[in-house]
Amino acid sequence: MDLPVLLITNGVLLPEARLKYTLHLLGVSRARIESFALPIASVKQLYTVPGDLNDEIKVEFLRNLKDFLTYLTFESIESAITLKKLLEEKNFDALADFSVAQLREVSFSTMLDYLATLDTSRRVLLANEWIKECIKSQSDPNEQLKRDHHKELVKLGTLIPANDLAKLRDKAQNVVRKYGSRVKSGNSVEALEGKLRDAQLPDGIRDRAWEEYDRLKGMNSQQSEYNVLLNYLDLVAALPWSKSTPDHIDISKARQVLDVTHDGMDKVKKRVLEFLAVRKLTDHATGPILCFSGPPGIGKTSIAKAIAKSLGRKFERMSLGGIRDESDIRGHRRTYVAAMPGRIIQALKHAGTNNPVILLDEVDKLYAGVSGSPSAALLEVLDPEQNNSFVDHYLNLPFDLSNVIFISTANDLSQVEAPLLDRMEVIEMSGYSHREKLHIAQNHLLPRQLDKNGICPDHLIVNPDAILHMIESYTMEAGVRQLERQLGAVCRHGALKLAEALNTDIAADVVPELHLPIVIDRTAVKHILGIAKFERLNLVKKLGRFKPGMVFGLSVSVLGGKVMPIEATTNPGKGKVQTTGKLGDVLKESIEVAKTWIRANSGRLSCSSLTDIDAHVHIPEGAVKKDGPSAGCAIVSALYSLAANRCVRSDTAVTGEISLTGHVLPVGGIKEKVLGAHRAGIRRVILPESNRADTSELDDTIKA
């Protein structure tokens, strides 16, 4: 007989899975596929044979199936109802097939063998064994709850007509929700109660937290608010309302920590020690908020870490780069979907104490977006008058931040909003000279990289000359981050050599083909790191002797100081000045000022007044925007060189603002500029007299 193999009985849209359909398929008979040509299969029905089934097995099987029914009601209410019906009918053929179909523990191949067995008694025996195993493995601690649940289901079955499946299912699902969810969530609500008791909540907070807890207890766990409230109370219980680390401010120990972790930086260390000393003597929770500013990789973050270490406090770093939403700082209100607390509250939760050192990293990279200004939110956090009752929107309870030490860092202070900057005490940090970098590399970076790569310091030695070569030719930075990366590459090379030698023969006492220690010199650096990337940037060597109109200016950016070549040429014309190189308004005005000054002083200087020719001023790296008044003196030099047809020295760089009457005015970033000039191979720098005091910060080797 040809017949359909499967009959689709009903497709039910479950209310809790709005977009998912569940397709219920019901097997009606065994069959063998005789021929198969897509999309039609021709099948032959197979008939089961009763076999020899003894009464003892029948009784045991029925008993086991009744227990199995209890378990099944938790899994699928509809399957439980069908099984109940089959139990009433005592149809052993169908009972065996249906109950086995509910088991997930039986492997697919075993199930196929079962399916192919036509002898009913054999299948009942198999089903009985598997069901017994299943019941044994489902021993549940919530037995009483399950029994109640079962009773209620049975009651439902008797009250509602069997054919009214939809009503029955809805009611039954409510029962599953009521009991099933208690089985799952009972533990977490009880655990929460314990956590809230242990949280040492302050007076005003305690009552509100317990009120919310009572509200949670009265809620059905299927309510959407239930989980929101549960998570909220979890946070309340986890916050360190009354937990703090005791301060051990020992100035000599702090000095030692700072000296051990950081080379040089004398001015910064002195200021940090003063800060700690004042804290020790006054015992004031409130103090200035330090802001370390300077180029990347000069140790701003790591010095903040050292402060936390010397105080014995927890350290939390909050990267503010790219934040443009007020709620990142202050949290979302709980009514929002997926609402979360702000970063400050999260940092405190993570720290587990209410007096950590929180580093607000990169405050200059906060932006005001459409959803409010994060800087404005930070103002409240940093204000000692207000921050003893900081209210995060999510938490909606005041938290005392006055014990927290906030430290911030910035690369570019001009990008920090004025009111925020006003709250902080800025400590400017500048880049390092080659000699300072060498010391940092020898004392800190190399030992750290050796350790990271599992190399004993006696097995790999990097010559100072090799380190200097790396500094000069493989890095171009104010800080030491690239240098640490290059040292890491050298160490990995050493690690490979050592590991290869060790691999050759594990039992060998001596590492073959390897002479220890591995010594890294200039040649080895070239071999490991490849072609020197920055040798080509030695501008003095590269540009050689200057032509009239060329001069080196100096600029400073968030990446440190840099040499800025300026070129000027003439064209036939009527005294106009053309500018190229993406120059800002202030720089263009400096060019106008320089031209006017040359014209006014051409007689005294015995040079052309540039009125009968056009000048073209170009500053290379045309894609990079340049601005600021500090190139004034360099532009005057370039135009004078052109007007007088005399060359400027090509080993010299100039900086300083120029006024219309020829006064040279002071400029900022002297140390960075001089270091940048030194990196580019410049040997002489001309600075405004009024900047003389700034030169005291310069390293003697640089001055020399």
Query: Greatest CA separation found in the chain?
Result: 129
CB neighbours of residue 495 within 10 Å: 19
Pick the closer one to ligand ATP by CB: 477 or 567.
Answer: 477
Least distance between ligand ATP and beta carbon 297 (Å): 5
Pick the closer one to ligand ATP by CB: 257 or 480.
Answer: 480
The annotation status of 531 as a binding-site residue, yes or no, is no
Q: Which of 638, 651, 643 is nearest to 550 (CA)?
A: 638
Specify which residues 658 forms β-bridges with.
664
The annotation status of 296 as a binding-site residue, yes or no, is yes
Strand bridging mode 550-557 / 560-572:
antiparallel
Least distance between ligand ATP and beta carbon 417 (Å): 18
The annotation status of 549 as a binding-site residue, yes or no, is no
Handedness of CA 615, 620, 624, 626 (dihedral sign): negative
Q: Which two tokens stand for residue 173?
A: 């699902």
> What distance in Å separates the CA atoms of residue 504 and residue 502, rounded to the nearest whole number?
6
Pick the closer one to ligand ATP by CB: 195 or 481.
Answer: 481
Residue 632 binds ligand ATP (CB under 6 A): no
The annotation status of 297 as a binding-site residue, yes or no, is yes
> What distance in Å separates the CA atoms of residue 698 and residue 451, rounded to the nearest whole number?
33
* 105 CB burial (10 A radius; 0-12, 13-18, 19+): exposed
Contact with ligand ATP (CB under 6 A) among 97, 263, 392, 477: 263
Residue with token string 């608010």: 225
The annotation status of 295 as a binding-site residue, yes or no, is yes
Specify which residues 405 forms β-bridges with.
357
Residue 480 binds ligand ATP (CB under 6 A): yes
Residue 206 binds ligand ATP (CB under 6 A): no
Q: In 196-211, which positions are buried (b, 16+ CB within 10 angstroms) versus exposed (e)?
A: beebebeeebeeebee
The annotation status of 329 as a binding-site residue, yes or no, is no
> What distance in Å separates the CA atoms of residue 627 and residue 264, rounded to the nearest whole number?
32
Pick the closer one to ligand ATP by CB: 153 or 360.
Answer: 360
Contact with ligand ATP (CB under 6 A) among 375, 409, 453, 630: 409
For 13, the enclosing helix (H) or strand (E) is strand 6-13
Pick the closer one to ligand ATP by CB: 401 or 440.
Answer: 440
Pick the closer one to ligand ATP by CB: 320 or 615.
Answer: 320
- Residues 223-252 binding ligand ATP (CB under 6 A) are none
Dihedrals phi, psi of 478, to nearest 5 degrees:
-80, -35
Least distance between ligand ATP and beta carbon 305 (Å): 8
Least distance between ligand ATP and beta carbon 319 (Å): 9
- Pattern 431-460, binding to ligand ATP, x per CB under 6 A? ---------x---x----------------
Catalytic residue among 99, 630, 641, 650: 630
- Residues 292-351 binding ligand ATP (CB under 6 A) are 296-302
Q: Which residue is nearest to ligand ATP (CB)?
A: 299
269 is annotated as an active-site residue: no
Dihedrals phi, psi of 257, to nearest 5 degrees:
-60, -45
Q: Which two tokens stand for residue 509?
A: 């006492």
Least distance between ligand ATP and beta carbon 262 (Å): 4
Query: Are the CB atoms for 672 and 556 separated by under 8 Å?
Result: yes
Q: Which residues contact 543 (CB under 8 A, 6 or more apart)?
A: 550, 565, 650
Gap between the terminal Cα atoms of the chain: 106
Q: Which two tokens stand for residue 377?
A: 């939110």
Contact with ligand ATP (CB under 6 A) among 146, 150, 262, 673: 262
Least distance between ligand ATP and beta carbon 487 (Å): 11
* 330 CB burial (10 A radius; 0-12, 13-18, 19+): buried
For 327, the enclosing helix (H) or strand (E) is helix 326-330
437 is annotated as an active-site residue: no
- Pattern 362-401, binding to ligand ATP, x per CB under 6 A? ----------------------------------------
Pick the closer one to ligand ATP by CB: 297 or 669.
Answer: 297
For 658, the enclosing helix (H) or strand (E) is strand 657-658
Handedness of CA 433, 437, 443, 448 (dihedral sign): positive
- Pattern 158-197, binding to ligand ATP, x per CB under 6 A? ----------------------------------------
Residues in binding contact with ligand ATP, number by CB under 6 A = 18
> What distance in Å separates the CA atoms of residue 157 and residue 481, rounded to the nearest whole number?
73
Q: Which of 462, 465, 468, 466 is nearest to 436 (CA)?
A: 468
CA distances for 38 relative to 35, 41, 42, angstroms: 10, 7, 10
CB neighbours of residue 176 within 10 Å: 18
Q: Which two tokens stand for residue 612?
A: 């009968």
Pick the closer one to ligand ATP by CB: 297 or 553.
Answer: 297
The annotation status of 301 as a binding-site residue, yes or no, is yes
User: Is residue 308 left, alpha or beta, with left meaning phi > 0 and alpha meaning psi from -120 to 50?
Assistant: alpha
For 500, the enclosing helix (H) or strand (E) is helix 481-504
CB neighbours of residue 630 within 10 Å: 28
The annotation status of 584 as a binding-site residue, yes or no, is no
Pick the closer one to ligand ATP by CB: 263 or 672.
Answer: 263
Give the SS3 label for residue 284: coil
**In whole angstroms, what separates CA 474 from the centre of its chain?**
28
Query: Are the CB atoms for 133 and 105 separated by under 8 Å?
Result: yes
- The strand ranges marked E within 362-421 are 390-391, 398-399, 405-410
Pick the closer one to ligand ATP by CB: 120 or 411.
Answer: 411
Pick the closer one to ligand ATP by CB: 267 or 646.
Answer: 267
Contact with ligand ATP (CB under 6 A) among 411, 473, 637, 650: 411
Contact with ligand ATP (CB under 6 A) among 264, 352, 372, 398: 264
Least distance between ligand ATP and beta carbon 301 (Å): 3
- The verdict on whether omega for the bond into residue 517 sits within 30 degrees of 0, i.e. cis, is yes
Q: In the complex, which residues of this chain contact ligand ATP (CB under 6 A)?
A: 262-265, 296-302, 409, 411, 440, 444, 479-481
Binding residues for ATP: 294-301
Binding residues: 294-301
Query: Which residues participate in catalysis according to the annotation?
Result: 630, 673
